[in-house]
A and B are shown apart, each in its own frame.
Chain A
C-alpha cells in the first residue's frame, strides 16, 4: 500500500482511540508501532513527564528489556531528556560520533545495535509533556518529510492527552500524567503475571493483553486490573492472530 494511504489510515486510527476516557498507554503504544512501520525505523518509544521526577518511559514499539531500559535510562541522560528540557527536536544523532555527549546512553544504545537516534518534543502551545524517541540500526539522517510525519503523529497524541482540560489547568494535567504513569505500572504488573502463568516472555505477554483488550473492546489498563485481581485468568486471554495454539 502507498505510504500516503498508510499514513491517512494511521491518523484515523489514532483519532479513533481518542474517545472519552481513552487509554493513554494504548494510544502511545499504537503511535510507537506506526512510527516504526511508516518511517522505516527500528524502534520507537515515548517518555512523559511525571509529577514525581522527570521523564518516565510510557510506551515502546518493543517490550524487550534492553529496549525498555534504553528509554528508562533517559530519565538521567540522553536525547529525550535534552529534547524535553529545550522543547526542541534532537535530530540525527549518530551514536558513533557523539564523543561523550551521553556516555551511558550511547554505550547502551550501541550495545542494543542502534547507530542513530532522534527525539521530538510532545508539545502543545507552551507545554512540553514528553518526547518521542526514534532509533535506527543504520547511521543515517531522517528525511525532513519523515521528521514532519513523526512530529505530526506526536502532536496528535499530545493533543489527545491534553484535550480534556483547559490548557492552563496544571492540576488536571498533573493528575492525568500521574494516572497514565500508574496505569503503565499496572500493565507491567499484569504482564509479569501473564508471563509467569503462561510461560511467556514480556513481549508475548503484552501482545496477549493487547490482543484480548482489542478483541473485547476493553481498555488495556482495565483488563490489566482484572488480570491482577484474578477476575480474568491469564489462560483465558485471546491469542494474537497467527499464534499457534
Chain B
C-alpha cells in the first residue's frame, strides 16, 4: 500500500500547473478519475448551502450519471451525500442489494457497470459527492478506495475555494497549504456562522473570500477571528469582508 501522504501529493502534483480556475476544475475531475483508475468521474454539488449542480464531469457517461441522479433523486452520490459515507456498487447489472430502480437501467445502458459515490464533507458541512464509474464490474481495491477518499477531500476544498472566488492560482495554493487540517479554521467558521447568522458552510466560504481578498492565509485570518481581533459582523461598506 502507498504511504497515505503520497496520495494527496500525487493529486496535487497532477493538478499543478498554470491553468486557470475553470480549467483546474475540469482537470480536477480528470485527476479524480485517473488516480482512482476509473473510466470517468464527476463532482456533484447537493448541499442546501450551495447551488445544486455539476461542477465538472470527465465524459458524457459521467454527465448522464449525474443528470439521472439529479432528476430521479436516487443513485450512489445521492445516497453518499445523505448518509455521509461512501456508497459502493461494484456491479450495477447484479447488485448486492436491490436499489435505485429507476437509475439502474439507463446508467447501465449508457455504459456504466460499477458506480461509486464518495461524500464531500467538511465537518458538519455536506457539499455533495464525488461520482466515480467504471465500464467494467468489480470492487475498488484498497488503494483505489483510499485514493477516492483523498480525492473527495481535495474536491471539497476545491469547491469551497471556488465559491470564495479564489484567484486563478488560489486553488492550488489553498490545497497546498492544507489549512483545512487546522483546528483554528473550523473554530473560526463556527464563530463567523454565529456572528452572521449563516450556515457553517457559508461561513467557511466567507472566511476564504476574506483571506483571498486580502491576500492573507486562511489560518492567519482564522486566528484573528478566534483571538477576537477580527469580527465579520462589524465589517461594512468598504471593509466588507466578502468581496
Contacts and interface: CB of A to CB of B under 8 A. Distances in A.
Contacts of A65: 183-184, 223, 226
Given A51-B7, A54-B4, A185-B186, A192 B226 contact: yes
Interface string B65-95: 0000000000000000000011000000000
Contacts of A191: 187, 190
Dominant secondary structure of chain B at its interface with chain A? helix
B65 to A, nearest CB: 22
A75 B181 contact: yes
Contacts of A188: 123, 183, 186-187, 190
Nearest to B8: A53
B225 to A, nearest CB: 8
Interface in B147-161: 149-150, 153
Given A175-B86, A189-B200, A196-B194, A52 B189 contact: no
A170 B7 contact: no
A228 B124 contact: yes
A57 interface: yes
A6 to B, nearest CB: 29
Give the interface size bracket for B toward A. Answer: 35 or more
Interface in A153-212: 170-171, 174-175, 178-179, 182-183, 185-197, 202
Interface of B: 1, 4-5, 7-9, 85-86, 121-125, 140, 142, 145-146, 149-150, 153, 178, 181-184, 186-195, 200, 223, 226
Interface of A: 49-54, 56-57, 65, 68-69, 72, 75, 170-171, 174-175, 178-179, 182-183, 185-197, 202, 224-225, 228-229, 234
